Amino acid sequence: MKKIKGSGIITAAAFLSIGIFSAAFIAVNSLTLAAAAGKTESIPPVTATVNIPAAEPVMPEDYQQPDFTVYVPENKWYSVGANDLSAEEAAQIGALYIWDMFGESIDGKAVEMYYSAWDSHTRAYWHGYVADSFEDLKNNVMTDAMRTTTNPVYGFTICAASGERVDIQAVSNYVNIPALSELHNDMNRRDELAKLRSAQQPPERLDEYAQAAEAFAAKHFAGSEVVGVEFRNASAYSFDLDENGELFIATQQLLFTVTDSTGREAEVSISRESKALIRIVTQHNDVVPGYNHDTYGAG
């Protein structure tokens, strides 16, 4: 195992497989999407048109380039393209992405990077996951982080060729995933889970949350303008247990679709309690039109 001092790269022999990393993200996002898919008929859509220039993701004056270590598990599925960014270059772009979206430096952290070039998508990606240490990554800390950590940990995705920002998420707000899974697997408590996941009524001053979503999207988009924002729904985001062992909603999210001047849509989730950003997702814009997942790998 070779280590380069400073913001160097360590190539590990699949200490944390892509399957584990992807499964954790999919598990989390499936819970969030399930919540977002709750009943929304009673919630009227709110639309607005804005014209906010999206600043280029240049180095802010107060930004100090962090010093961190990049880990790259062995990738048996994809090889990095000749014209694509290196893992270290992509991690630095991700560090600035996190700073812009969350105002947090990842100095001293460990960043696990993996590359993908799926047939279903029009571009290749670098995906990054930020944790406190190599040991946390090796031990699949995401599961524990969702349940116990008080320190933010992050995941991000960028275009492997251009470095364009694609997705970003703070994952520390997910709590008691084991408790939620136990409830999900209990056939006698499915109604209880459905009630927790069902859509919530939006706050009265929805415009304030829409403005927050617009502002985050403006930071996310580069070289384009934000031209519209639409409220989608309010739903449960994270869960916890009370002193009696009962599951309750710890965080609610408000979901907005924000569109830029190129037509690219960003799904922006913000906290109802604090208006803080939870996640931005734009990868769905890159799916090949008409791609049939059922025929993947067919001869």
Q: What is the 3-state secondary structure (H, E, C) of the chain?
A: CCCCCCCCEEEECCCCCHHHHHHHHHHHHHHHHHHHCCCCCCCCCCEECCCEECCCCCCCCCCCCCCCEEEEECCCCCCCCCCCCCHHHHHHHHHHHHHHHHCCCCCCCEEEEEEECCCCECCCEEEEEEECCHHHHHCCHHHHHHHHCCCCCEEEEEECCCCCEEEEEECCCCCCHHHHHHHHHCHHHHHHHHHHHCCECCCCCHHHHHHHHHHHHHHHCCCCEEEEEEEEEEEEEEEEECCCCCEEEEEEEEEEEEEECCCCEEEEEEECCCCCEEEEECHHHHECCCCCHHHCCCC
Q: If you average pLDDT over every residue of the chain, what do you get?
A: 75
In a domain, 297, yes or no: no
- The pLDDT value recorded for residue 215 is 96
Cα–chain-centroid distance for residue 74?
A: 23
Domain count, the chain: 1
Strands 69-73 and 9-12, bridge-based pairing:
parallel
Tell me how far apart the alpha carbons of residues 89 and 49 are, in angstroms, rounded to a whole number.
36
Calculate the dihedral angle through the C-alpha atoms of 90, 16, 250, 192, rounding to the nearest 10 degrees: 130
In a domain, 299, yes or no: no
* pTM of the entire predicted model: 0.74
Q: Which of 64, 74, 76, 72 has its CA nearest to residue 3?
A: 72
Q: For 15-44, how does the pLDDT look when each residue is reduced to its tens digit (9 = 90+)? A: 333 333 333 333 334 333 333 333 333 333
Residues, the chain, total?
Answer: 299
What is the sign, positive or negative, of the torsion defined by CA atoms of 186, 190, 195, 197?
A: positive
Q: Within the chain, which residues score under 50 in pLDDT?
A: 1-55, 141-151, 173, 296-299
Q: Locate 120 and state its tokens.
A: 């279903």
Q: Which of 78, 282, 76, 71 has its CA nearest to residue 169?
A: 282
Tell me how far apart the alpha carbons of residues 196 and 38 are, in angstroms, rounded to a whole number.
10
Tell me how far apart the alpha carbons of residues 196 and 21 are, in angstroms, rounded to a whole number.
26
Domain with 180 in it: 9-291
In a domain, 2, yes or no: no
Residue 214 to residues 48, 112, 164, 269, 279: CA-CA distances in angstroms?
10, 30, 18, 11, 13
In a domain, 45, yes or no: yes
In a domain, 296, yes or no: no
- The pLDDT value recorded for residue 178 is 59
In a domain, 15, yes or no: yes
In a domain, 102, yes or no: yes
Q: For 179-207, how does the pLDDT look when each residue is reduced to its tens digit (9 = 90+)? A: 566 666 776 666 766 777 676 788 889 99
In a domain, 298, yes or no: no
